[in-house]
Amino acid sequence: MVASATVDGALPADSRLDRVDSASPPDPPAYVYAATDYRPRQAREIQLCETASRFDWLYTGTMAAGTIGSTFLSIGPLKQAQTPGVRLIGPGLIGLFWGGFLSGAWLSLPKCDPMWAEGAPPEGNVRAAWPIAAAISLLATVTAPAIDYVFLGAVPVGWSDTERSTRVFFAMGTGLVGSLLPYVISPRPWSARKEIDRIRIGEVAGGPFVSYGFTF
Task: For residue 204, give the nearest of 121, 106, 104 by alpha carbon.
Answer: 121
Task: For residue 190, give the nearest of 198, 90, 158, 10 by alpha carbon.
Answer: 198
For 215, the 3-state DSSP assignment is strand
Compute the average pLDDT of residues 32-50.
Answer: 67
List, in order, residues 6 or more apart from 7 with CB less than 8 Å away.
13, 16
List, in order, residues 6 or more apart from 166 with CB less than 8 Å away.
84, 88
- The Cα–Cα gap between 112 and 190 comes to 9
Percent of the chain exceeding pLDDT 90 equals: 49
For 54, the 3-state DSSP assignment is coil
pTM for the model stands at 0.71
User: Residue 119's pLDDT is what?
Assistant: 54
Neighbour-count burial of 64, counting CB atoms closer than 10 A to its CB (0-12 exposed, 13-18 middle, 19+ buried):
middle
Please check the confidence at residue 177 and state whether its pLDDT lies above 90.
Answer: yes
Predicted confidence (pLDDT) per residue in 50-88, tens digit = 899 999 999 999 999 999 999 999 999 999 898 999 999
